[in-house]
Every structure is written in C-alpha cells, then in structure tokens.
C-alpha cells in the first residue's frame, strides 16, 4: 500500500510526498517530532506535521539564511543560532574561517537528538568544539545577552506553537541588544505565497526594533508555496553595504546554491513581496 505524507499549507493546498518509512516518532514537551524517509527528498524532519528540512533540499534554506548575512560582515567571530536544532544552519556558519564560536539555542532536545541520529549529513557538525549547544528557550536566552554576537540567525518554525514568541517586538529588541556593533540578524520570515498575513504582521515589528530592515528571497521546494523569505536587520549594515567577493568565492566552492551573484540578487524583490513587507518602491 502506498503511504503519502501531506503538509496542509493554506487555502486548500499542501505538499504531498511519498513515504518509504517512518524512522522516528515522539511527542516531546513542545511538539510532535518525526523523521520520515521519502522517495523524493530523502530523510525529512517534521515538527507538528510541518516540513522543517529534508536531506535533498535543505541547502536551499540553510545556505541562504547563513551566507547572506555572514558575508555582509567583515569578520564574524561569534554567532548565535536560535532554533535550528537540526544543525544545518550551524554547519553553514562553520564554513566561515573567522568563526570562533557558534551558540545553538534550541528549545527541544528531542529535535537535536533525532537529527544527530537520523540526519548525520545535516547535524554531523554539532560535535565541533566551536559549537556550544544550549537546550533552552531562545526568548529567555536572548534576554540575558548584551553586546555579544556578530551575527544572530533566527532559524525558527512558523509563528504558531513553540516558535510563536520568536515573532514579537520584545524578542527583536532583545536580539538587537545582543548584537555587537556592525552586527546583523537574519530571521526566516515565511512564504510570500502561503503566509502573506504572517509576513505582513512580522515586518512592522522588526521595524520597531531595527533601523535597517530588508528582505531576501529564494526558492525552497518543500516549504509552503515553494518560495521563501528572510529578514535582514541591523543597526548599521545595509544589504550589500559590505561585501567581500573573494571571501564569497571561497564559500561558494562548498555550496550547492550560494555564490556572489546570488548575494547580489537575493534582495531583488518582486512587487507583490515589496507590498507585503511594505518596502518603499
């Protein structure tokens, strides 16, 4: 019998993937955690029945959320990833030779443990000595950090469930206070196709916390709408305000998606996305 998984997205559509087998299924204190093996995308992590990552298309997300901000900073040394318990964002951050320490602040130890066991190509870097794993709520962690990080990456779930508190003005203000001078935050900001409402609520809150708020976009085959966005926020760095092409070329060698043309193109927004984020045009 054929077994298919569907993430119901919005307005009567979803993404449906043929399942080979279920490898892990647990209900943690926070959410349902599943790892399934699929024909089309290899192994996949699902949280509360939503696609978080897959072996075959994770690079679309992880290379964008990390390299676009990392290469907008001259020498990022200390990086914080909030959420992202699968380790994919940390893996990309560690490709940058300036990095001395990456703190991974993930609320749910079940996610980290399941990914370490079943998704080694994504979570394999979590044993690197530069990685400090904090199993705690990012909301509390960030409130304790002042002037600490060069880059903060908010690799969260959707703005409902355990991720909800990561989409508030207070949280963004605390992120700002945790950044050093010249620091940058990038946060996943949902799909301009499937989550217009969530996006249009998020950007005004970001603008209350940061003077510079911009948006970059890219495709993600297994996420709602197939098309995704990230917020780029800073006190002093504008998108493409700093860019070292030689460093970008070094990173490009180990990437499936990222290159210096992508860096330049990522902030080019279609009109309907400008409308959602209310970017002046």
3-state secondary structure 152-213: EEEECCCCCHHHHHHCCHHHHHHHHHHEEEEEEEEEECCCCCCCHHHHHHHHHHHHHHCCEE
Beta carbon of residue 236, minimum distance to ligand AG3 (angstroms, whole number): 27
Decide if 155 is catalytic: yes
Q: Which of these is catalytic: 34, 108, 137, 155? A: 155
Residues in the chain: 281
Contact set with ligand AG3 (CB under 6 A): 7, 50-53, 61, 84, 86, 88-89, 155, 157-158, 188, 223-224
Q: With respect to ligand AG3, which residue has the nearer C-beta, 206 or 237?
A: 206
Residues 6+ apart with CB under 8 A from 117: 24
Beta carbon of residue 51, minimum distance to ligand AG3 (angstroms, whole number): 4
Beta carbon of residue 48, minimum distance to ligand AG3 (angstroms, whole number): 9
Q: With respect to ligand AG3, which residue has the nearer C-beta, 53 or 174?
A: 53
Q: With respect to ligand AG3, which residue has the nearer C-beta, 127 or 144?
A: 127
Q: Distance between CA atoms of 204 and 110, rounded to whole angstroms?
A: 33
Q: Distance between CA atoms of 111 and 126, rounded to whole angstroms?
A: 12
Q: Distance between CA atoms of 141 and 124, rounded to whole angstroms?
A: 24
Beta carbon of residue 171, minimum distance to ligand AG3 (angstroms, whole number): 16
Residue 224 gets which letter from DSSP?
A: G
Q: With respect to ligand AG3, which residue has the nearer C-beta, 8 or 272?
A: 8
Residue numbers annotated as active site: 155
């Amino acid at each position: 019998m054929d077994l298919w998984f569907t993430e119901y997205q919005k307005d009567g559509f979803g993404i449906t993937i043929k399942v080979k087998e279920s490898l892990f299924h647990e209900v943690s204190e926070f959410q349902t955690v599943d790892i399934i093996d699929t024909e089309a995308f290899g192994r996949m992590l699902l949280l509360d029945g939503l696609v978080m990552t897959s072996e075959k298309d994770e690079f679309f997300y992880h290379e964008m959320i990390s390299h676009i901000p990392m290469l907008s900073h001259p020498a990022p040394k200390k990086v914080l990833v909030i959420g992202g318990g699968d380790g994919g964002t940390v893996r990309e951050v560690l490709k940058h030779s300036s990095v001395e320490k990456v703190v991974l602040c993930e609320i749910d130890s079940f996610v980290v443990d399941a990914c370490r066991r079943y998704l080694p190509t994504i979570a394999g870097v979590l044993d690197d000595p530069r990685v400090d794993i904090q199993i705690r709520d990012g909301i509390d962690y960030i409130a304790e950090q002042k002037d600490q990080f060069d880059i903060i990456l908010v690799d969260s779930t959707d703005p409902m469930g355990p991720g909800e508190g990561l989409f508030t003005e207070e949280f963004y203000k605390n992120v700002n206070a945790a950044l050093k001078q010249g620091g940058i935050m990038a946060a996943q900001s949902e799909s301009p196709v499937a989550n217009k409402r969530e996006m249009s609520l998020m950007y005004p809150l970001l603008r209350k916390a940061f003077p510079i708020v911009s948006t970059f976009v890219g495709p993600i085959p297994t996420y709602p709408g197939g098309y995704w966005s990230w917020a780029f926020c800073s006190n002093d760095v504008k998108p493409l305000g700093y860019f070292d092409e030689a460093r970008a070329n070094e990173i490009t060698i180990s990437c499936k998606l990222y290159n210096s043309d992508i860096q330049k193109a990522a902030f080019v927004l279609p009109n309907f996305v400008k409308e959602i984020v209310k970017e002046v045009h």
